Amino acid sequence: MVGKPVSADEVRHTEQLLSDGSRIRHDETEHFYRDSLGRMRTESATGALIYDPVTRCTYDLTTNRKTYIRIPNSEDSVVTIAAAASRSSTTTSTGHGKPESATVTEELASQLVNGVSARGARLTTTIPAGTLGNDHDLKVVNERWYSDDLKLLVKSSNSDPRFGLATYELTNISQAEPDPALFQIPAGYTEGHR
């Protein structure tokens, strides 16, 4: 998004409750940067991905080997960095005479999320009994909070009884221009191949 610089931490948590009562939890934090030119960088402990609409390339950096792969962006390529916060209500068929899953969307009152105004939506999908061999209805609840100012998803949660809870949140949000060096190949890196 041109003209919308931002730096933030992307924090993801997943948690699954097993039938014996034990839990499996996974936490991950990545750093996200976007400058006024629309260049974006996502950085983890193992490397970084730089999307550069100026050079029309994406660069995949691997930290431990100090290598990168340059991937040309096609003219019609689209980079999706956040999901839309609202959708209309939908009903979908599972096919083969199975019951239909229905999704209901509820608009939520705007709120501040880590200092940024965001509009929210709650999508509740009901999977009827018998659809997947389930003996009762299953409810999947997805909440999304989207900042129109940043043009980014700033918070989401997805609760699914089959898979557990997954959350995403942008924290430590700054709208200052990031260091231009973040969008360059670091010194000492060599180009690799796919």
Question: pLDDT tens-digit profile of 152-180?
Answer: 999 999 999 989 999 999 999 999 999 99
Residue 131 burial by Cβ neighbours in a 10 Å radius (0-12, 13-18, 19+): middle
Question: pLDDT tens-digit profile of 107-140?
Answer: 999 999 999 999 999 999 999 988 888 899 999 9
CATH number at residue 140: 2.50.20
Query: pTM above 0.85?
Result: no
| 1 inside domain | no
Per-residue CA distances from 167 to 10, 140, 183 (Å): 10, 14, 28
| Interacting residues of 188 by C-beta distance below 8 A, sequence separation 6+ | 66
| 184 inside domain | yes
| 119 inside domain | yes
Instruction: Give the phi and the psi of residue 183 in degrees, each rounded to 5.
Output: -105, 15
| 194 inside domain | no
